[in-house]
Amino acid sequence: MKLFLEKLTDRTTLSEEEMTLAAESLFSEEISDSEIAAFLIALKSKGESSDEIANLVQVLRKKALRITRRFDDVMDNCGTGGDGSQSFNISTTSAFVIAGAGITIAKHGNRSVSSKTGSADVLEKLGVDLQAGPSEVEELLIENGIAFLFAPHIHPKMARIMKIRRELKIATVFNLIGPLTNPVELTSQLLGVYRQDMLEPFSKVLHSLGRKRAVIVNGAGNMDEASLQGTNNLILLDNGNTKRFTLHPEEVNLPVYDNQAIRGGDAAENSQILLNVLKGKKGAYRDTVLLNAGVGIFTNGKAETIQEGVALAKESIDSGKALNKLETLISYNRTKSGVI
Protein backbone atom coordinates (compact mmCIF):
# COMPACT_ATOMS: atom_id res chain seq x y z
CA MET A 1 0.00 0.00 0.00
CA LYS A 2 2.90 2.36 0.71
CA LEU A 3 4.04 2.10 -2.92
CA PHE A 4 0.52 2.88 -4.19
CA LEU A 5 0.22 5.87 -1.87
CA GLU A 6 3.57 7.25 -3.02
CA LYS A 7 2.53 6.94 -6.68
CA LEU A 8 -0.82 8.61 -6.10
CA THR A 9 0.68 11.48 -4.12
CA ASP A 10 3.10 11.96 -7.04
CA ARG A 11 -0.03 12.17 -9.23
CA THR A 12 0.86 8.96 -11.08
CA THR A 13 -1.99 6.82 -12.41
CA LEU A 14 -1.88 3.22 -11.19
CA SER A 15 -1.58 0.45 -13.74
CA GLU A 16 -4.30 -2.19 -14.08
CA GLU A 17 -2.31 -4.66 -11.98
CA GLU A 18 -1.49 -2.03 -9.34
CA MET A 19 -5.09 -0.86 -9.03
CA THR A 20 -6.33 -4.44 -8.74
CA LEU A 21 -3.80 -5.16 -5.99
CA ALA A 22 -4.65 -1.91 -4.22
CA ALA A 23 -8.39 -2.68 -4.38
CA GLU A 24 -7.81 -6.18 -3.01
CA SER A 25 -5.74 -4.63 -0.20
CA LEU A 26 -8.71 -2.54 0.90
CA PHE A 27 -10.34 -5.76 2.12
CA SER A 28 -7.24 -7.10 3.89
CA GLU A 29 -7.18 -7.25 7.70
CA GLU A 30 -3.48 -6.37 7.50
CA ILE A 31 -4.32 -2.89 6.20
CA SER A 32 -5.23 -0.27 8.81
CA ASP A 33 -8.23 2.05 8.64
CA SER A 34 -5.88 5.01 8.29
CA GLU A 35 -4.18 3.41 5.27
CA ILE A 36 -7.55 2.85 3.60
CA ALA A 37 -8.55 6.46 4.30
CA ALA A 38 -5.20 7.72 2.98
CA PHE A 39 -5.64 5.71 -0.23
CA LEU A 40 -9.13 7.08 -0.86
CA ILE A 41 -7.99 10.66 -0.25
CA ALA A 42 -4.84 10.29 -2.39
CA LEU A 43 -6.85 8.79 -5.26
CA LYS A 44 -9.38 11.62 -5.03
CA SER A 45 -6.63 14.25 -4.90
CA LYS A 46 -4.92 12.86 -8.02
CA GLY A 47 -8.19 12.36 -9.86
CA GLU A 48 -9.56 8.93 -10.72
CA SER A 49 -8.86 7.65 -14.23
CA SER A 50 -11.47 5.58 -16.07
CA ASP A 51 -9.17 2.52 -15.94
CA GLU A 52 -8.63 2.90 -12.20
CA ILE A 53 -12.39 3.13 -11.64
CA ALA A 54 -13.07 0.10 -13.84
CA ASN A 55 -10.44 -2.04 -12.09
CA LEU A 56 -11.73 -1.05 -8.65
CA VAL A 57 -15.30 -1.89 -9.69
CA GLN A 58 -14.26 -5.30 -11.00
CA VAL A 59 -12.75 -6.20 -7.63
CA LEU A 60 -15.80 -4.94 -5.71
CA ARG A 61 -18.15 -6.97 -7.90
CA LYS A 62 -16.09 -10.12 -7.28
CA LYS A 63 -16.46 -9.53 -3.52
CA ALA A 64 -20.27 -9.27 -3.77
CA LEU A 65 -22.77 -12.08 -3.30
CA ARG A 66 -22.86 -13.96 -6.59
CA ILE A 67 -25.77 -13.66 -8.99
CA THR A 68 -24.92 -16.64 -11.18
CA ARG A 69 -27.83 -16.58 -13.63
CA ARG A 70 -27.21 -14.75 -16.90
CA PHE A 71 -30.03 -12.79 -18.50
CA ASP A 72 -30.24 -12.01 -22.21
CA ASP A 73 -31.48 -8.49 -21.51
CA VAL A 74 -31.26 -6.77 -18.12
CA MET A 75 -30.51 -3.18 -17.16
CA ASP A 76 -30.10 -0.82 -14.21
CA ASN A 77 -30.85 2.89 -13.91
CA CYS A 78 -29.26 4.95 -11.19
CA GLY A 79 -27.55 8.23 -10.42
CA THR A 80 -24.29 8.66 -8.56
CA GLY A 81 -25.92 11.06 -6.10
CA GLY A 82 -24.07 14.12 -4.89
CA ASP A 83 -25.97 16.74 -6.87
CA GLY A 84 -27.43 18.42 -3.77
CA SER A 85 -30.80 18.91 -5.47
CA GLN A 86 -32.82 17.19 -2.71
CA SER A 87 -35.09 15.81 -5.43
CA PHE A 88 -37.54 12.95 -4.93
CA ASN A 89 -36.39 9.44 -5.85
CA ILE A 90 -36.46 9.83 -9.60
CA SER A 91 -34.52 6.75 -10.74
CA THR A 92 -36.35 4.48 -8.27
CA THR A 93 -39.74 5.62 -9.55
CA SER A 94 -38.55 5.44 -13.15
CA ALA A 95 -37.32 1.86 -12.62
CA PHE A 96 -40.90 0.61 -12.18
CA VAL A 97 -42.01 2.52 -15.27
CA ILE A 98 -39.19 1.01 -17.34
CA ALA A 99 -40.04 -2.45 -15.99
CA GLY A 100 -43.70 -1.84 -16.83
CA ALA A 101 -42.60 -1.23 -20.42
CA GLY A 102 -41.29 -4.80 -20.54
CA ILE A 103 -37.61 -4.31 -19.68
CA THR A 104 -36.00 -6.40 -16.93
CA ILE A 105 -34.56 -4.13 -14.22
CA ALA A 106 -32.01 -5.16 -11.59
CA LYS A 107 -32.28 -2.05 -9.40
CA HIS A 108 -29.17 -1.64 -7.27
CA GLY A 109 -29.38 0.94 -4.48
CA ASN A 110 -28.70 2.05 -0.94
CA ARG A 111 -29.95 4.20 1.87
CA SER A 112 -29.45 7.95 1.75
CA VAL A 113 -25.86 9.10 1.33
CA SER A 114 -26.02 12.59 -0.16
CA SER A 115 -29.79 13.15 -0.34
CA LYS A 116 -32.58 13.15 2.23
CA THR A 117 -33.86 9.75 1.19
CA GLY A 118 -32.23 6.87 -0.68
CA SER A 119 -33.94 4.25 -2.81
CA ALA A 120 -33.74 1.70 0.01
CA ASP A 121 -35.40 4.10 2.48
CA VAL A 122 -38.35 4.67 0.16
CA LEU A 123 -38.82 1.03 -0.85
CA GLU A 124 -38.55 -0.13 2.74
CA LYS A 125 -41.30 2.35 3.65
CA LEU A 126 -43.47 0.81 0.95
CA GLY A 127 -42.88 -2.71 2.27
CA VAL A 128 -40.23 -4.00 -0.13
CA ASP A 129 -37.80 -6.57 1.28
CA LEU A 130 -34.25 -5.21 1.49
CA GLN A 131 -32.70 -8.55 2.39
CA ALA A 132 -33.38 -10.45 -0.82
CA GLY A 133 -30.51 -12.83 -1.52
CA PRO A 134 -29.17 -14.00 -4.89
CA SER A 135 -31.77 -16.75 -5.43
CA GLU A 136 -34.63 -14.40 -4.54
CA VAL A 137 -33.25 -11.68 -6.80
CA GLU A 138 -33.06 -14.15 -9.68
CA GLU A 139 -36.62 -15.35 -9.02
CA LEU A 140 -37.96 -11.80 -8.96
CA LEU A 141 -36.15 -10.87 -12.16
CA ILE A 142 -37.69 -13.89 -13.90
CA GLU A 143 -41.20 -13.64 -12.45
CA ASN A 144 -41.62 -9.89 -11.98
CA GLY A 145 -39.11 -8.29 -14.30
CA ILE A 146 -37.74 -6.11 -11.50
CA ALA A 147 -35.84 -6.78 -8.30
CA PHE A 148 -34.12 -4.56 -5.74
CA LEU A 149 -30.54 -5.29 -4.69
CA PHE A 150 -29.77 -3.56 -1.38
CA ALA A 151 -26.10 -2.62 -1.57
CA PRO A 152 -25.04 -3.37 2.05
CA HIS A 153 -26.75 -6.78 1.87
CA ILE A 154 -25.30 -7.64 -1.53
CA HIS A 155 -21.84 -6.28 -0.62
CA PRO A 156 -21.30 -7.53 2.98
CA LYS A 157 -17.51 -7.21 2.73
CA MET A 158 -17.87 -3.46 2.20
CA ALA A 159 -18.95 -2.81 5.81
CA ARG A 160 -15.52 -1.68 6.99
CA ILE A 161 -14.99 0.63 4.04
CA MET A 162 -18.47 2.11 4.54
CA LYS A 163 -17.55 2.90 8.15
CA ILE A 164 -14.36 4.67 7.05
CA ARG A 165 -16.27 6.63 4.39
CA ARG A 166 -18.73 7.88 7.02
CA GLU A 167 -15.86 8.94 9.27
CA LEU A 168 -14.08 10.79 6.44
CA LYS A 169 -17.19 12.87 5.68
CA ILE A 170 -15.88 13.79 2.23
CA ALA A 171 -16.74 12.45 -1.22
CA THR A 172 -14.41 9.73 -2.52
CA VAL A 173 -14.37 7.40 -5.50
CA PHE A 174 -17.05 5.34 -3.74
CA ASN A 175 -19.48 8.22 -4.14
CA LEU A 176 -19.12 7.79 -7.89
CA ILE A 177 -19.02 4.02 -8.36
CA GLY A 178 -22.07 2.80 -6.43
CA PRO A 179 -24.19 2.37 -9.59
CA LEU A 180 -21.36 0.42 -11.24
CA THR A 181 -21.06 -2.32 -8.62
CA ASN A 182 -24.28 -4.18 -9.44
CA PRO A 183 -23.31 -7.89 -9.37
CA VAL A 184 -25.84 -8.75 -12.08
CA GLU A 185 -24.26 -8.97 -15.55
CA LEU A 186 -26.07 -5.99 -17.06
CA THR A 187 -26.49 -5.62 -20.81
CA SER A 188 -27.53 -1.95 -20.63
CA GLN A 189 -27.42 0.87 -18.10
CA LEU A 190 -28.67 4.43 -17.63
CA LEU A 191 -26.24 6.29 -15.38
CA GLY A 192 -26.71 9.82 -14.08
CA VAL A 193 -23.69 11.88 -12.98
CA TYR A 194 -23.66 15.30 -11.30
CA ARG A 195 -20.36 16.26 -12.95
CA GLN A 196 -20.38 16.93 -16.68
CA ASP A 197 -16.65 16.19 -16.88
CA MET A 198 -17.37 12.58 -15.85
CA LEU A 199 -19.55 11.77 -18.88
CA GLU A 200 -16.72 10.51 -21.08
CA PRO A 201 -14.78 8.68 -18.32
CA PHE A 202 -17.92 6.82 -17.29
CA SER A 203 -18.68 5.84 -20.89
CA LYS A 204 -15.23 4.22 -20.99
CA VAL A 205 -15.83 2.48 -17.66
CA LEU A 206 -19.20 1.10 -18.79
CA HIS A 207 -17.62 -0.16 -22.00
CA SER A 208 -14.91 -1.89 -19.93
CA LEU A 209 -17.63 -3.49 -17.81
CA GLY A 210 -19.23 -5.01 -20.89
CA ARG A 211 -22.33 -2.89 -21.38
CA LYS A 212 -23.72 -3.30 -24.90
CA ARG A 213 -25.67 -0.05 -24.60
CA ALA A 214 -25.55 2.73 -22.03
CA VAL A 215 -26.47 6.35 -21.64
CA ILE A 216 -24.63 8.64 -19.24
CA VAL A 217 -26.52 11.82 -18.45
CA ASN A 218 -25.69 15.06 -16.68
CA GLY A 219 -28.94 16.91 -16.13
CA ALA A 220 -29.66 20.64 -16.37
CA GLY A 221 -28.52 22.28 -13.14
CA ASN A 222 -25.90 19.49 -12.79
CA MET A 223 -28.43 16.95 -11.59
CA ASP A 224 -27.51 13.27 -11.64
CA GLU A 225 -30.77 12.61 -13.49
CA ALA A 226 -32.30 13.97 -16.68
CA SER A 227 -33.90 17.32 -15.79
CA LEU A 228 -36.85 19.30 -17.11
CA GLN A 229 -35.11 22.57 -16.18
CA GLY A 230 -33.30 22.89 -19.50
CA THR A 231 -30.61 21.30 -21.65
CA ASN A 232 -29.24 17.91 -20.58
CA ASN A 233 -25.86 16.59 -21.72
CA LEU A 234 -25.64 12.90 -22.61
CA ILE A 235 -23.37 10.27 -24.11
CA LEU A 236 -24.74 7.17 -25.82
CA LEU A 237 -22.55 4.07 -25.75
CA ASP A 238 -23.66 1.59 -28.40
CA ASN A 239 -21.53 -1.54 -28.98
CA GLY A 240 -18.33 0.33 -28.22
CA ASN A 241 -19.17 3.47 -30.19
CA THR A 242 -19.99 6.72 -28.39
CA LYS A 243 -22.07 9.69 -29.43
CA ARG A 244 -22.43 12.89 -27.44
CA PHE A 245 -25.71 14.82 -27.67
CA THR A 246 -28.00 17.18 -25.81
CA LEU A 247 -31.66 16.88 -24.89
CA HIS A 248 -34.17 19.59 -24.00
CA PRO A 249 -37.56 18.50 -22.59
CA GLU A 250 -39.41 20.43 -25.28
CA GLU A 251 -37.79 18.17 -27.88
CA VAL A 252 -39.84 15.27 -26.49
CA ASN A 253 -43.00 17.34 -25.88
CA LEU A 254 -42.50 17.72 -22.14
CA PRO A 255 -42.84 21.01 -20.23
CA VAL A 256 -40.04 22.95 -18.56
CA TYR A 257 -39.94 22.99 -14.75
CA ASP A 258 -37.37 24.46 -12.40
CA ASN A 259 -35.56 21.78 -10.38
CA GLN A 260 -37.12 23.28 -7.26
CA ALA A 261 -40.46 21.85 -8.44
CA ILE A 262 -39.29 18.28 -7.88
CA ARG A 263 -37.84 18.54 -4.40
CA GLY A 264 -38.64 15.61 -2.14
CA GLY A 265 -38.69 15.02 1.59
CA ASP A 266 -38.34 12.13 4.01
CA ALA A 267 -39.05 8.49 3.22
CA ALA A 268 -42.77 8.84 3.90
CA GLU A 269 -43.14 11.85 1.62
CA ASN A 270 -41.03 10.41 -1.17
CA SER A 271 -42.81 7.05 -1.07
CA GLN A 272 -46.12 8.89 -1.48
CA ILE A 273 -44.71 10.84 -4.44
CA LEU A 274 -43.63 7.54 -6.00
CA LEU A 275 -47.09 6.03 -5.51
CA ASN A 276 -48.82 9.13 -6.86
CA VAL A 277 -46.73 9.02 -10.03
CA LEU A 278 -47.36 5.31 -10.60
CA LYS A 279 -51.08 5.88 -10.01
CA GLY A 280 -51.11 8.52 -12.75
CA LYS A 281 -51.08 11.84 -10.89
CA LYS A 282 -50.00 14.55 -13.31
CA GLY A 283 -47.45 17.30 -12.67
CA ALA A 284 -43.73 17.94 -12.44
CA TYR A 285 -42.97 14.64 -10.67
CA ARG A 286 -44.69 12.55 -13.34
CA ASP A 287 -43.16 14.52 -16.22
CA THR A 288 -39.69 14.12 -14.71
CA VAL A 289 -40.23 10.37 -14.47
CA LEU A 290 -41.52 10.27 -18.05
CA LEU A 291 -38.32 11.96 -19.22
CA ASN A 292 -36.01 9.66 -17.25
CA ALA A 293 -37.95 6.49 -18.00
CA GLY A 294 -38.08 7.54 -21.66
CA VAL A 295 -34.30 7.91 -21.71
CA GLY A 296 -34.02 4.55 -19.92
CA ILE A 297 -36.22 2.75 -22.45
CA PHE A 298 -34.15 4.29 -25.25
CA THR A 299 -30.97 3.24 -23.43
CA ASN A 300 -32.12 -0.37 -23.42
CA GLY A 301 -32.88 -0.19 -27.14
CA LYS A 302 -36.60 -0.98 -26.84
CA ALA A 303 -37.27 2.49 -28.26
CA GLU A 304 -35.43 3.87 -31.27
CA THR A 305 -35.79 7.45 -30.02
CA ILE A 306 -36.21 9.10 -26.64
CA GLN A 307 -39.55 10.53 -27.76
CA GLU A 308 -40.74 6.98 -28.45
CA GLY A 309 -39.37 6.00 -25.05
CA VAL A 310 -41.43 8.75 -23.38
CA ALA A 311 -44.56 7.45 -25.15
CA LEU A 312 -43.87 3.92 -23.89
CA ALA A 313 -43.31 5.33 -20.38
CA LYS A 314 -46.72 7.01 -20.49
CA GLU A 315 -48.34 3.74 -21.55
CA SER A 316 -46.55 1.89 -18.74
CA ILE A 317 -48.03 4.24 -16.14
CA ASP A 318 -51.48 4.74 -17.65
CA SER A 319 -52.03 1.01 -18.18
CA GLY A 320 -51.21 0.26 -14.54
CA LYS A 321 -48.28 -1.98 -15.51
CA ALA A 322 -45.71 0.14 -13.64
CA LEU A 323 -47.77 0.10 -10.44
CA ASN A 324 -48.27 -3.66 -10.78
CA LYS A 325 -44.49 -4.16 -10.79
CA LEU A 326 -44.24 -2.39 -7.43
CA GLU A 327 -47.24 -4.21 -5.95
CA THR A 328 -45.81 -7.59 -6.98
CA LEU A 329 -42.47 -6.71 -5.39
CA ILE A 330 -44.23 -5.81 -2.14
CA SER A 331 -46.49 -8.88 -2.14
CA TYR A 332 -43.47 -11.13 -2.74
CA ASN A 333 -42.06 -9.96 0.58
CA ARG A 334 -45.36 -10.54 2.38
CA THR A 335 -45.79 -14.01 0.90
CA LYS A 336 -42.24 -14.95 1.87
CA SER A 337 -42.89 -13.71 5.42
CA GLY A 338 -46.16 -15.61 5.64
CA VAL A 339 -48.22 -12.42 5.76
CA ILE A 340 -51.09 -12.56 3.26
Q: For residue range 38-49, list pLDDT tens digits in order.
A: 999 999 999 999
Q: Which of 76-90, 153-167, 306-320 has the highest mean pLDDT?
A: 306-320
Residues making up the chain, counted from first to last: 340
Q: What is the per-residue pLDDT for 80? A: 86
Residues 40 and 83 in one domain: no
CA of 158: how far to CAs of 60, 125, 180, in Å? 8, 24, 14
44 is an annotated ligand-binding site residue: no
For residue 243, give the amino acid letter: K
Is there a domain that residue 10 lies in? yes
Q: What is the per-residue pLDDT for 238? A: 97
296 is an annotated ligand-binding site residue: no
89 is an annotated ligand-binding site residue: yes
Q: What is the per-residue pLDDT for 79? A: 87
Residues 106 and 240 in one domain: yes
Residues 143 and 190 in one domain: yes
Residues 188 and 117 in one domain: yes
Is there a domain that residue 197 lies in? yes
100 is an annotated ligand-binding site residue: no
Please compute Rg for the chain using Cα positions.
19
Could you tell me where the DSSP H helices lie in the chain? 2-9, 16-25, 33-46, 50-63, 90-100, 119-126, 134-143, 151-154, 159-168, 174-177, 199-208, 267-278, 284-300, 306-318, 321-337
Residues 142 and 194 in one domain: yes
69 is an annotated ligand-binding site residue: no
What number is the average pLDDT over the span 52-66? Answer: 95
Q: What is the per-residue pLDDT for 340? A: 47
Q: What is the per-residue pLDDT for 165? A: 87
136 is an annotated ligand-binding site residue: no
Give the integer Cα–Cα distance in Å for 262 and 286: 10
| CA neighbor of 77 nearest in space, from 243, 304, 309 | 309
Residues 274 and 148 in one domain: yes
* More confident call, 117 vs 213: 213
146 is an annotated ligand-binding site residue: no
Is there a domain that residue 52 lies in? no
Q: What is the per-residue pLDDT for 203? A: 96
118 is an annotated ligand-binding site residue: no
Is there a domain that residue 179 lies in? no
What are phi and psi for residue 233, nearest 5 degrees?
-105, 130
109 is an annotated ligand-binding site residue: yes
Is there a domain that residue 212 lies in? yes
Structurally, the chain folds into a number of domains equal to 2
**pLDDT tens-digit readout, 159-212:** 999 899 889 888 889 888 888 999 999 999 999 999 999 999 999 999 999 999
Q: What is the per-residue pLDDT for 116? A: 67
Is there a domain that residue 67 lies in? no
**pLDDT tens-digit readout, 216-240:** 999 999 999 999 999 999 999 999 9
What number is the average pLDDT over the span 110-136? Answer: 87
Q: What is the per-residue pLDDT for 82? A: 74
Supply the CATH number for residue 189's domain: 3.40.1030.10
Give the integer Cα–Cα distance in Å for 175 and 159: 15
What number is the average pLDDT over the span 34-58? Answer: 95
339 is an annotated ligand-binding site residue: no
Q: What is the per-residue pLDDT for 81? A: 79
What number is the average pLDDT over the span 18-38? Answer: 96
15 is an annotated ligand-binding site residue: no
Q: What is the per-residue pLDDT for 137? A: 95
Residue numbers of the domain that contains 21: 1-47
Q: What is the per-residue pLDDT for 299? A: 98
pTM of the entire predicted model: 0.93
182 is an annotated ligand-binding site residue: no
What number is the average pLDDT over the span 7-13? Answer: 97
**pLDDT tens-digit readout, 238-248:** 999 999 999 99
Residues 195 and 83 in one domain: yes
Residues 196 and 294 in one domain: yes
Mean pLDDT, the chain, rounded, equals 94
CA 284 to chain centre: 22
